[in-house]
Structure 1
């Protein structure tokens, strides 16, 4: 099974990895079976996060049967200062019962201020570099949904991998991935199914694998069946046929403009609503079938979608002409019914 280097990290990864969000909704026994199937099918990269409730614990327990030596383990934390990142690393090691983590990422950096804080004198990078020197993490990465922030992030030599959305609907990361690859930075595609919006899953994975932009794509999987189907899309990779390209084009057109790409151009909202985050958290409810997780993330927002005064300034700035006001109204109803 063909593997590629994840940038200059030295990690050889299969183009398909395992995303750890959806296993929150299965049992430990089911999660273990899924990880075992990943091992047997050649998947050797697992990505999770401290914020994914019990995902780290499930994965750590599963590795006792699946074998730690068969996987590169990546996790992440939304910490920007030294103390919180140091504590996060220790918590992840404890949660997964590991001596070391292959890749630790600063999670979901969405503002330049967060990036600057992470690289400040007592920022998250200091904690990550100390952990790397001790050998308890091997490599440092960053994740996010805002291209401009990650373009700035890869100017820092400490960053070895980036994780950003990429799929047939969301190609805004092309420049970012090209620059990263030119610098020897590994590229990880999150949201390979556009958060569940792109329904032709195997075609999306084949599209990503053929892009020459991505080292590894990490679809979330919550069943053995999904592992088998996803691997079958890329294990004997062939170029996309004209028929497949037409099928992808039709799917993209059907999704149309009513889809948030999380580009952030709608911000700042005069009322302080984090509009992209509202839609991300709603997606956990409506697409990922994780209502409790999505609702808890939404409830943690300092300003809720109910604060919208329908000024429509966001809509005038949206490059995709989304009906943001109506979508925020829909989100309010979604969370009300959780």
Structure 2
């Protein structure tokens, strides 16, 4: 768990994969090039966001299937696939297929809940069952059972020239152990109880948390509470197992090799998002982390002082949504060559 002088074990990053609606292939190709570069730079992992009905990656599993054939070592993750729009049976088949193709490098991250803007398209998504769909964590349990190889069918055998299996095919041993769940404190406790890995992000809910004290410390303290709750629940439910993995997600933008124009762009991006970090937002009382922007020595000092960062040994830094390929390549290069080493991280080649 990194403090000043202690090494960060794993470093990755998260990208949304934006594209121009008139040329979606271009944006997806950019994402694949960034993933290839990440492997060359020695990153441990790269993660794809999932966005539906937007100009971002709607099928991260398909994109990671392509990435699996253009890389050999780097772990490939999703952060996160909202299961409300998925059939766990079919998703399990797709995940297992990509895991086999990648040689066991897939790290599927998922979440549950009512899909964003569900009322706008629910009759097209579930025309007969939209008001009866179960968006609870039961969907995760079903997916986990399928990935573990639990029986799906009552029949196994041969009919004519076709052979049928009781479990989802292909079966990829170990994939279930690489499932991640993203969410707030109650989700952290649930994930720990289930023995699933836990993803944090740059947003938390403040419900039930103490907001006294210095304002900039609120986010890190709440995120640290979530991580502690996960670890406690995991240890209580699985005392004989190795601890589950926890990855911290923050927007981190090193500027060591950035041009003057890029530095101005990054500073404006941070400033434009700063207001939402000062108080909880909306009915769910969501609090956003401030973006970390600066040279790597400064960023390392700030991260080592972050209460949540002190509780993890791996991170998936989020790339800003709206930047271009040149910006992303500069940022991940500085992460690998400047920020990572400042955090004691060693590139994997």
TM-score, with length taken from structure 1: 0.52
Following superposition, the deviation at residue 100 of structure 1 comes to 4.5
1:117/1:36 CA distance change after superposition, 3 Å = closer
1:72-126: CA deviation from partner (whole Å, max 9, x where unpaired): 2223532279x81121132345678546453223325589x85542366xx3332
Offset, 1:41? 2.0
Equivalent residue number for residue 174 of structure 1: 224
Instruction: Tell me which residue corresponds to 2:10.
Output: 15
Task: Indicate the structure with greater helix content.
Answer: 1
Contact residue 128 and residue 140 of structure 1 kept, 8 A: no
Q: Which has the larger radius of gyration?
A: 2
Considering only aligned residues, what root-mean-square deviation do their CA atoms show, in Å? 4.1
1:139 — aligned with what? 177
2:148 alignment partner, one of 108, 129, 149: 129
Corresponding residue of 1:105: 109
1:88 to 80, 87, 91: 91
Q: 1:288-332 CA deviation, whole Å, 9 max, x = no partner? A: xxxxxxxxxxxxxxxxxxxxxxxxxxxxxxxxxxxxxxxxxxxxx
The answer on whether the counterparts of 2:13 and 2:318 sit within 8 Å (CA) in structure 1 is: yes
Question: What corresponds to 1:47 in structure 2?
Answer: 47
Mapped contact 1:39–1:66 kept (Cα < 8 A): yes
- Distance in structure 2 (CA, Å) of the matches to 1:110 and 1:189: 24
Name the residue aligned to 2:245: 186
Render the CA deviation track for 1:114-169: whole Å, top value 9, x for unaligned: 5542366xx3332232269642725243433422232233122x31x101125876
Distance 2:10 2:32 in 1: 21
Partner of 2:339 in structure 1? Answer: 233
Within the alignment, does 1:65 sit opposite 2:70 as a pair?
Answer: yes
Change (3 A) 1:186 1:207: farther
Q: Secondary structure at the match of 1:212?
A: helix
Runs of at least 5 residues in structure 1 that lack an aligned partner in the other structure: 4-12, 239-338
- CA 1:138–1:152 in 2, change beyond 3 Å: closer, same or farther? closer
Shift of 1:227: 0.6
Q: Separation in 2 of the partners of 1:21 and 1:119?
A: 23
1:47-80 CA-to-partner distances (Å, cap 9, x unmatched) read 225553254444433443332xx11222353227
Q: For the Cα contact (< 8 Å) 1:102–1:138, is it kept in 2?
A: no
How many aligned positions are there?
Answer: 221
Q: 1:33 to 1:142 in 2, by over 3 A?
A: closer
Once the 2 structures are TM-superposed, how far is the Cα of residue 225 of structure 1 from its aligned partner?
0.9
Give the C-alpha shift of residue 186 in structure 1. Answer: 0.9
The answer to whether the Cα contact below 8 Å between 1:110 and 1:144 also exists between their aligned partners in 2 is no
3-state SS of paired residue (2:342): coil
Q: Which residue is 1:268 aligned to?
A: none
2: distance between equivalents of 1:141 and 1:95? 14
Q: Is the 8 A contact 2:68 2:102 kept in 1?
A: no
Change (3 A) 1:95 1:235: same
* Cα separation, partners in 2 of 1:155 and 1:53, compared to 1, 3 Å: same
Q: Does 1:213 align with 2:208?
A: no
Structure 2 runs not aligned, ≥5 long: 3-7, 21-25, 52-56, 116-133, 150-167, 204-215, 236-242, 254-268, 274-289, 320-324, 345-349
